[in-house]
């Protein structure tokens, strides 16, 4: 009788584990379908060195672009995509207008971060190195006039 209980309990745990694996696979498929590599975007203003400091095999036409909703962040301000440190661009659009675009390398903001007004005009650009704002920055008003620029 004891053996029958062990067999029933074992089958129950195996069944639960299989359901969890099926759910994980389904979630991964859903996340993967949301990831976009946009080879129609003009990356001519970016160089591979600016984006990846010459350490990535990604070229300007192969930059991984994802929505920020796909990224997870930890307490150390490292960004992950599917449990891996993210390298690429995170872009957020509203009504076909880009509101921001941030470059990442190995989970950290690295390179240019650009933000836009809802009218499409660039709002500001700042440079990050290994997650820290470092380098040139520019701020514009809604009409496109520079209101501030400097170096962090």
Per-residue pLDDT band at 32 (split at 50, 70, 90) = very low
| Average pLDDT over every residue of 16-42 | 43
Q: How far apart are CA 21 and CA 31, in angstroms?
A: 15
Rounded to the nearest 5°, which phi and psi values hold at 122? Answer: -65, 135
| Average pLDDT over every residue of 76-104 | 94
């Amino acid at each position: 009788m004891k053996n029958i209980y062990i067999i029933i309990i074992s089958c129950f745990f195996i069944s639960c584990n299989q359901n969890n694996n099926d759910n994980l696979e389904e979630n991964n498929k859903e996340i993967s379908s949301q990831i976009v590599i946009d080879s129609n975007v003009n990356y001519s203003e970016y160089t591979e060195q600016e984006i990846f400091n010459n350490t990535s095999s990604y070229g300007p036409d192969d930059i991984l672009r994802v929505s920020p909703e796909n990224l997870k962040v930890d307490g150390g301000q490292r960004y992950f995509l599917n449990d891996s440190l993210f390298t690429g661009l995170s872009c957020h659009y509203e009504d076909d207008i880009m509101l921001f675009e941030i470059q990442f390398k190995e989970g950290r903001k690295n390179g240019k971060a650009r933000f836009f007004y809802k009218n499409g005009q660039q709002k500001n650009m700042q440079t990050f190195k290994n997650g820290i704002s470092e380098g040139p920055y520019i701020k514009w008003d809604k009409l496109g006039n520079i209101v501030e620029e400097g170096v962090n």
